[in-house]
Structures are given as structure tokens and as C-alpha cells.
Amino acid sequence: MATTAISVVVVGFRHGKAIRRPLEALASELSDGDQLIVVDNASGDSTPEVAEAAAPAALVIRNRENAGFPAACNLGAAEATGELLVFLNPDAVVADGWRDAIEAPLSDGSGWAAWQALVTAECGRVINTTGGVLHYTGIAWAGGAGSPVTSTSPLSIAEQRRAGLSIEERVSEPAFVSGACLAIPRGGFERLGGFAADFFLYHEDVDLSLRARLAGGTLGVARDARADHDYEFDKGPAKWRYLERNRWATLIRTYPASLLALLAPALAATELALVPASVAGGWFGQKLRAWNDTLGALPRLLGERRAIQATRSGTTAEFARALTPKLDSPYLGAASRSRLLDALLGGYWRVVLRLLGG
């Protein structure tokens, strides 16, 4: 039974053909006192009208311009009244029981600063993400992507409880929580300053998660809460520009100084390696734009860094332990299959952790 009101924020941009089913599923899940907020990012199509028809009780906000995903999320959050904020992608359909399951970590002893649902794809047949994975160079991907749900997804919280596992044994902390279905107490979101509005698209969930970690919080996955995401990685060449500039923005803003210093050779080597990779992939122009964006934003990013680092609680070694040396994402091609690269990255990381005292 619902004990805490939640506010669900859905940001749409030209989703007129896809948003009806997700909103109808949400409307059937929400309880009295809950709130659904739809922010339309100046779609220019039927998105706001479809939202109003699919969820008549929703607050539909019509942006005058496309402000980007994180800025629109912040706008929706500013109108939220619930104690728990949930950000849900406009092409993600929640399953039966989702509402109570996504709220449960507020009171079940998990103690998480933020968490996500178990996000599936292909009508629940495969995993979209069981929690984000973050390489120490800032490259991020969805954990478990493409794995069959039946054979590789972890036991649900309820199943783990029935098996007699303790809280410590049940919790497997992701490096970051996915913005496809991200839950965070409203007070915590406000203290963190919300999403990084200047990111526009991509990596905003990584940045928010790392800021929560810096402030001493932990992250989790509410595995009883299921949401099926109509996910497609390839969304045009501009995606690479956003991914790369926001990766660097996240590194500059959130990584402690000693970690950045120890990683400087690896970060430089990564940039060199990405040149031929981007040329071969046809997105070298986007990589150049990302470099230009980062250099132009550097004074602002350094100012933001000072404010963010001032919130740090805990050691750099504790922060670093959430990162991985393995490039084992299915989206990384040959790099994920190279044993030599795996050995080099792993050896380097062991040295870094030793120097950090981890």
C-alpha cells in the first residue's frame, strides 16, 4: 500500500506516436496523491495533446524551446510535490506493481541516495540495464545490456528475501543509476542541484550519480520495479558529440583531484585512441566539436567543480572503487575483446588504487 506520494517526470520530444502507451501504463499504476508531470520540449508535433488525452490528470508543461533532457527534467522537478521523484523516459513502459516497488527503497532499509528500476527491452525479453557500469576514463554503458532476462538478471528483492539473504548480501551497487527510470528523494535531488542542465543530452545520470556518491550516498537497483525501454543506441552522429563532451564535463566536475592526476596518462591515451576510432566510425567531426565544447566550457566547469568537490564525504579510494578497468561493453567492439588491452588497463588500475590507498 502506498505510503509516500511520488512525482513522476516524463520529458518528451517528438514522441507523439510513442508516448501514449507509457503514460497510460503509468496512470494505471499511480495512487491517490501521486503526481505525473509531462514536459514537452517544444516538439512541434502532437506530443502534448497525446499526453493530455492519455493521462488527463497529468500536469503537462509546454516548453517554448527544446531545452534538452536534463534541463526539462529540472523544470518538471521544480513543479513536483511528492517526496520521491522518479524520472522516466517517454518510451519506457512500467510493469504491474512498478509504483510500490520503486517507492519501497525509501523504507526497506536500503538507505540509497538514488536508485533505478530493473530496465528491460524487447517487451521484457532482454536486459536494457541492471545498473550503469563506468570505466575509470569516464566511458559509461548499461550493465547487462542484451542479456536474457530469464537467465542472467539477478533475483528480485522479494526472491532474495525469501532466500534468507541479508541487506548486505542483497545489495549490489551500480556505478551509476540509469536515467531511463531513476528515482531520488526530492530533498536529495534539490541538495545536489538537480541534473547538469548544460549537458543537453546523455551522461546526466552518470554525473548526478557521481555527485551523490561524492556527498556520501550509495546507489541501488529496485529489482522488483520493472520498466520496459524501447531502446536504440544509434540516434545520429550528434550523439557522439554529446557523449564525449559530457564525459569530459563529468570527469572535470566530479573526479577528485588525486584521481584525475593519476589518471592523466590514461585519459590522454584514450583521447589518442579515439581519433582513429572516430575516423573509422564516421564521427571524427563530432569528436572535434566535443573538444571545442569542452575547452569553451572549461572556466564554468572548473567553477562548478569547486562547488561539487566541497560536498565530498569519504576518501578518493572509496569513490574510485565504483569504477571498473574493464571495457567489456557490447557497444565497444574490438576494444572489449582485446586481452592485451584488458591486461594493460587492469594493471594500470591496480597501481592507481594502490597509490590511493584502496
Map residue 9 onto helix, strand or coil: strand
In this predicted structure, what is the pLDDT of residue 168?
Answer: 35
pLDDT band at 235 (very low <50, low <70, confident <90, very high): low
Q: Is 41 exposed, middle or buried (0-12, 13-18, 19+ CB in 10 A)?
A: buried
Q: Is there a single domain that holds both residue 210 and residue 351?
A: no
Q: Quick one: what percent of the chain has pLDDT higher than 90?
A: 81
User: In this structure, are 219 and 247 located in the same domain?
Assistant: no
Q: The domain that contains 151 carries what CATH number?
A: 3.90.550.10
Question: Total structural domains in the chain?
Answer: 2
Output the pLDDT for position 262.
98
- CA–CA separation, 181 vs 116, rounded Å? 6
Find the domain containing 253 and state its range.
239-356
3 state SS of 238: helix
**From CA 71, how far away is CA 282, in angstroms rounded?**
29
pLDDT in tens, 7-51: 999 999 998 888 999 999 999 999 999 999 999 999 999 999 999
pLDDT tens digits, 255-303? 999 999 999 999 999 999 999 999 999 999 999 999 999 999 999 999 9
How high is the pLDDT of residue 164? 43
- Residues 109 and 244 placed together within one structural domain of the fold: no
Mean of the pLDDT values across residues 127-154?
86
Distance CA 182, CA 220 (A): 10
Same domain for 285 and 209: no
Q: pLDDT band for position 152 (50/70/90)?
A: very low
CA angle in degrees (0–180, nearest 5) for 142-196-35? 80
pLDDT at 172: 64
How confident is the model at residue 234, as a pLDDT?
Answer: 62
Residues 184 and 267 in one domain: no
